[in-house]
A and B are shown apart, each in its own frame.
Chain A
C-alpha cells in the first residue's frame, strides 16, 4: 500500500467538510461575520504548519476511528458546535462524496486534480485573509512538488489504498440519489459513456502488424459503451483550469443534504468488527493527535461573541430522531477529547506528550493507549 496517501485523504475530506459547512451556515442564516470566522478558523487549523509537516511524512493511513476524531476536533476549532448526530451525518457525507470522486477518477493521477479543485475552492473561501491564503498556497506547492512527478503506477497504488479505506461503505446520500449518481442499494453509478481519460483511446480498433512492424490489417469491434475523445487535459499548476468537475462544490443553499441509513447487513457487521480490533498504530495516532491538541489555539467565545450550534438536519427534532435511530453498526465510537485553554491543562498535555515519546512498543501498548485516552477524557 502507498505511504503517500494520507495527505490526499485528509485534504479532500477536509474540502468536502467545508463545502457542507458552508451550505449549512447559509441555510441556517448564520450572520456573515460569524460564518466567515468559522470557515477561517477551520481552514487556519487545517493548514497549520506543524500539522502539515506531520501529515506529509510517509506513513500508513490512520484507522477510521482516529481519522474521524481528527475531523471532530477540526469541526470544533471555532465558535461552532455540532451535536453527535450532526457530526455523524457530516462525516458520512464527506466520506461518501470523496469515495465517489476517487471511484470515478478517469486516470489514477486525476486524484491530484480532484485535490486541486478542493484547494481552489478553499482559497475562494478565504480570499479576504491573505495570511491563511499563504498557508494554503504553501501546501499547494508542496503537493505539486511531491506528487506531480509520481508515475501512473504509483498513483494507482494511492488510488487502491484509498479504495480499500472506503470499501463496503454504502451510505445513501439524498443529493446523489436525486442526481442518479447513486443507486438505491448505495452503489455508485459507473457511466459507460462520455470522454475517455486523457491518454486513452476510444475502444474499438484492432491493428495488426507483420514481423517487419508494418501495419497490415485493421478491424473494429463494438460494445455497449459510447465513448468520445476528451477535449483537453486539466492543469496541474498552481493556477489553471482543472477541466475535471470531480471535487468541485456540488451543494448550493437550496439543495438540502440528507442521508438515509441503510439497514444492517453482513458488510456492516464486519466493519464494526474491524473497528474493534486492536490497532497497532494506536500509539502513533495518539501521538499525532496529542501534538495537534497541544499546539492549537482554541477559540473560546469571549465578551459579546457567542458560540452557536450548527444542525446538519432541517429541524432539531429530526436531529434528535437521527441520533436515536442510527444503527449500532454505523456508530463511529468517537473518542471524545475535551481540550481546554487553561495553561495548567496544557502542561498536563505536554507531560503526556513527553510520555508518548517512549520508543519501544511494549506488548501491552494497546492497553496503554486506552489509558491515555481515558486520561484525556477526564481533562
Chain B
C-alpha cells in the first residue's frame, strides 16, 4: 500500500494483517472483518481504508482486489447483507470512529452507493439485514437506517454505556446488543414489504452482573440461543430458552 507496509498473512481460517514499520503517533491496526459478495473478505484498518481480498475457492492464493478509501477515521466494523437486499440497497456496510456509515455494492469493483454522516458518536458495531442497517453507538443508542435511501427509521435509547457488540439472526430478524453497562438485549426487527414500515421491538433483557459485556453472538440462525463474553471473564456464558 502506498501509505503503509502491511504484512498480510493468510490461513485456512482467515486473514491476519500485521502492521510493519514505525507506528508514529497513531497506532496502526486492523479492525472489522466480513465476508462479502460470495468471494471476498473485507478488512478495516485504523487509517480508514477497507482492504478487499479476493479468496479463491481452493488454495491459498489470496490477492488484494481493491482498497476502498471513503472513511477518514479508523474503521470500527463491517457487515454484509444477511437477508435479501431490496433493489439498489447494496450488500455491504462499513462504519468508523466518527459514526460515518458507507454503503457498498460488492463485485469485481465495489461501488459506493451512499454515505450516512456521523453525528458525534462512534459507531462501534453494525449489521445489515433486508436492507436495514442496525448500528450500535458509543453513547448507548441503536439506530436503524434504510440502506437504500440512507434515512433514519428508528432510534433506540438502548444502553447506558458503550455498545460493544451487535449480532443478527437472519431467519427471524432478531437483533442482539451487548454493552459495557452489563446488559444484553434481544430485539426484533421487522420490515413490511408492502407498506415499507420498519419496526424494532424489545424482546428480552439479561443483566450479566458486575461484567462489562464485550462480545455477544447468537448461536443459531433463528436467534433462540446466544453467547456472551465480558472483560476479566474467563468463561463464555450461554443463554437459551428455559
A219 proximal to B (CB < 8 A): yes
Q: What's the minimum C-beta distance from B41 to chain A, rounded to whole angstroms?
A: 23
B151 proximal to A (CB < 8 A): yes
Cβ-defined contact, B157 with A202, below 8 A: yes
A224 proximal to B (CB < 8 A): yes
Q: What's the minimum C-beta distance from A105 to chain B, rounded to whole angstroms?
A: 10
Q: Contacting B199 at CB < 8 Å: which of A153, A187, A205, A208? A: A208
Q: Contacting A207 at CB < 8 Å: which of B155, B182, B207? A: B155
Contact A3/B140 with A187-B210, A190-B182, A223-B183 known, Cβ cut-off 8 Å: no
Cβ-defined contact, B205 with A224, below 8 A: yes
Cβ-defined contact, A58 with B161, below 8 A: no
Cβ-defined contact, B200 with A208, below 8 A: yes
Residue-wise, chain A 195-207 has the 8 Å CB interface mask toward B (1 for contact) of: 0110111111111
Question: What CA separation (Å) do A163 and B214 show in the bound complex?
Answer: 12
B74 cross-chain contacts in A, Cβ below 8 A:
153
Chain B interface mostly helix, strand, loop or mixed? loop
Chain A interface mostly helix, strand, loop or mixed? loop
B240 proximal to A (CB < 8 A): no
Q: What's the minimum C-beta distance from A76 to chain B, rounded to whole angstroms?
A: 32
Cβ-defined contact, B25 with A152, below 8 A: no
B53 proximal to A (CB < 8 A): no
Cβ-defined contact, B157 with A204, below 8 A: yes
In the complex, residue of chain B having the shortest beta-carbon distance to the beta carbon of A208: B154
Q: Count chain B CB atoms within 10 A of each CB in A152, A202, A203, A227 and give the residue with the most.
A: A203
Cβ-defined contact, B154 with A209, below 8 A: yes
A3 cross-chain contacts in B, Cβ below 8 A:
23-27
In the complex, residue of chain B having the shortest beta-carbon distance to the beta carbon of A205: B157
Cβ-defined contact, B210 with A163, below 8 A: no
Q: What's the minimum C-beta distance from B147 to chain A, rounded to whole angstroms?
A: 12
B129 cross-chain contacts in A, Cβ below 8 A:
none
A192 cross-chain contacts in B, Cβ below 8 A:
160, 181-183, 207
Q: Contacting B201 at CB < 8 Å: which of A190, A196, A219? A: A219
Cβ-defined contact, B157 with A188, below 8 A: no
B122 proximal to A (CB < 8 A): yes
B25 cross-chain contacts in A, Cβ below 8 A:
3-4, 58
A35 proximal to B (CB < 8 A): no
Q: What's the minimum C-beta distance from B71 to chain A, rounded to whole angstroms?
A: 11
In the complex, residue of chain A having the shortest beta-carbon distance to the beta carbon of B24: A58
Question: What CA separation (Å) do A209 and B160 show in the bound complex?
Answer: 22
A189 proximal to B (CB < 8 A): yes
Residue-wise, chain A 206-234 has the 8 Å CB interface mask toward B (1 for contact) of: 11111101000001010111010000000
Contact A206/B156 with A152-B138, A153-B73, A153-B76 known, Cβ cut-off 8 Å: yes
Cβ-defined contact, B202 with A221, below 8 A: yes
Q: Contacting B27 at CB < 8 Å: which of A1, A106, A223? A: A1
In the complex, residue of chain A having the shortest beta-carbon distance to the beta carbon of B142: A206
B26 cross-chain contacts in A, Cβ below 8 A:
3, 58
Contact A213/B138 with A3-B27, A58-B24, A223-B183 known, Cβ cut-off 8 Å: no
Cβ-defined contact, B154 with A153, below 8 A: no
Cβ-defined contact, A156 with B210, below 8 A: no
Q: What's the minimum C-beta distance from A221 to chain B, rounded to whole angstroms?
A: 4
A235 proximal to B (CB < 8 A): no
Q: What's the minimum C-beta distance from B14 to chain A, rounded to whole angstroms?
A: 20
Residue-wise, chain B 133-169 has the 8 Å CB interface mask toward A (1 for contact) of: 0000011110000100101111111111110000000
A residues 1-34 touching B (CB-CB < 8 Å) = 1-4
Q: What's the minimum C-beta distance from B4 to chain A, rounded to whole angstroms?
A: 15
Q: What's the minimum C-beta distance from B145 to chain A, rounded to whole angstroms?
A: 10
Cβ-defined contact, B158 with A203, below 8 A: yes
Residue-wise, chain B 14-29 has the 8 Å CB interface mask toward A (1 for contact) of: 0000000001111101
In the complex, residue of chain B having the shortest beta-carbon distance to the beta carbon of A266: B234
Q: Contacting B212 at CB < 8 Å: which of A154, A190, A207? A: A190
B198 proximal to A (CB < 8 A): yes
Cβ-defined contact, A58 with B23, below 8 A: yes
A83 proximal to B (CB < 8 A): no
A219 cross-chain contacts in B, Cβ below 8 A:
201-202
Residue-wise, chain A 151-190 has the 8 Å CB interface mask toward B (1 for contact) of: 1111011000001000110100000000000010001111
Residue-wise, chain B 42-81 has the 8 Å CB interface mask toward A (1 for contact) of: 0000000000000000000000000000000110100000
Question: What CA separation (Å) do A58 and B25 show in the bound complex?
Answer: 5
In the complex, residue of chain A having the shortest beta-carbon distance to the beta carbon of B205: A223
Cβ-defined contact, B210 with A188, below 8 A: yes
B211 cross-chain contacts in A, Cβ below 8 A:
190
Chain A: residues with CB nearer than 8 A to chain B?
Answer: 1-4, 58, 103, 106-108, 151-154, 156-157, 163, 167-168, 170, 183, 187-190, 192, 196-197, 199-211, 213, 219, 221, 223-225, 227, 267
Given contacts A153-B98, A200-B161, A225-B181, 17 further A-B contacts (CB under 8 A): A3-B23, A151-B73, A151-B122, A152-B122, A153-B76, A168-B232, A187-B210, A200-B140, A203-B140, A203-B181, A206-B154, A213-B151, A219-B202, A221-B205, A223-B183, A227-B160, A267-B234
Question: What are 12 contact pairs spanning A and B, CB under 8 A?
Answer: A153-B96, A163-B231, A183-B210, A190-B212, A197-B161, A199-B139, A201-B157, A203-B160, A209-B155, A211-B149, A223-B185, A223-B207
Among all A-B residue pairs, the 3 with the closest Cβ atoms: A153-B97, A221-B202, A201-B157
